[in-house]
Amino acid sequence: NLSAGDRVTVYPTRSCGFCNYCRLGLENYCSDAPRTGFELDGGFSEYMKVLGRNAVKISSDVPFELAAIIPDAMATAYHSLVQKAKTQVGETVVVIGLGGLGIHTVQLASVLGARVIAIDVVPEKITAAQSYGADEVINAASEDTVTRVMELTGGSGADVVVEGVGGEVVPRVLDDCFKILRLGGRLVVMGYAYGKDLTVDTAQLIYGQWNVIGTRASTLQDVVETVKLVEQGLLKPVVSKTFNLVDANDALQMLQDSPPLGRIVLTPF
Ligand SMILES: [Zn+2]
């Protein structure tokens, strides 16, 4: 279904195509699925070889440097909110951590008709979240997150809480997530750290009837659907920095030292 000259973005997971998960369209569950940038080299280059089915067409209105982040930063948010949390119109969605994934999760939750509460500790990211659809914002550095969310939800807690922080602090953040989850609410864990546990009182889990959901990456179909939302102008890829390919190390250094809003993109020109 591709012709020379087609504009495409690339689903980065080379799934096997034959296992039960692949046949179900759950490429992100496939155990034989090396990913560009992880198990496969070649992402930082002018040309790369990809499976035809992984090339998702984009319209001429979507610049390549924006389309580049759709399959990861945006489709991951899509998979978590649409496929996993099954977010409904009018629900309250709390997004904790406004990094590259978080800022797109805020946008998508808003597009889905949810009321969005966005939380971070960096003022610029909080301000950006407001411009991308957050109805309420909380600065966790100066405000008590649990108290504020409970106030904003009339004491009942949020329908969906998306944890997008990860790293060393993830156990503490997850503790707070349970405190702001309504009865029967869904906790979506997107941020993580190896060796860091999620602990929950089993009695509270039962009486709270909580759903704890792990989510990773996206399916190919999620990318196709996310591309449509971008083409329709409903979602805007947030790319705050672009670097020339030859300056890739500078980009990686920036990512480590002070990650900018959204994503950084490398361009070969
Ligand atoms: Zn497979």
Q: 141: domain range?
A: 77-214
**So what's the pLDDT on residue 269?**
73
Same domain flag for 229 and 114 = no
- Using the mean position of ligand 1's atoms as its centre, give its distance from the Cα of residue 218 in Å: 14
- Using the mean position of ligand 1's atoms as its centre, give its distance from the Cα of residue 19 in Å: 4
**So what's the pLDDT on residue 168?**
93
Same domain flag for 115 and 132 = yes
Write down the ipTM of this complex.
0.99
Decide if 162 is inside a domain.
yes
Same domain flag for 259 and 234 = yes
Decide if 3 is inside a domain.
no
- Give the sign of the dihedral formed by CA 163, CA 169, CA 171, CA 172: negative
Which residues hold their Cβ within 5 A of ligand 1, which is an ion?
15-16, 19, 22, 30
**So what's the pLDDT on residue 225?**
98
Same domain flag for 117 and 143 = yes
pLDDT per residue over 166-214, tens digit each? 899 999 999 999 999 999 999 999 999 999 999 999 999 999 999 999 9
**So what's the pLDDT on residue 1?**
87
pLDDT per residue over 91-109, tens digit each? 999 999 999 999 999 999 9
- Using the mean position of ligand 1's atoms as its centre, give its distance from the Cα of residue 257 in Å: 36
Intervals of the chain under pLDDT 70: none
Same domain flag for 145 and 259 = no
The pair of structure tokens assigned to 204 is 């509270």
Q: Give how many domains the chain has, as a whole number.
A: 2
- Using the mean position of ligand 1's atoms as its centre, give its distance from the Cα of residue 33 in Å: 7
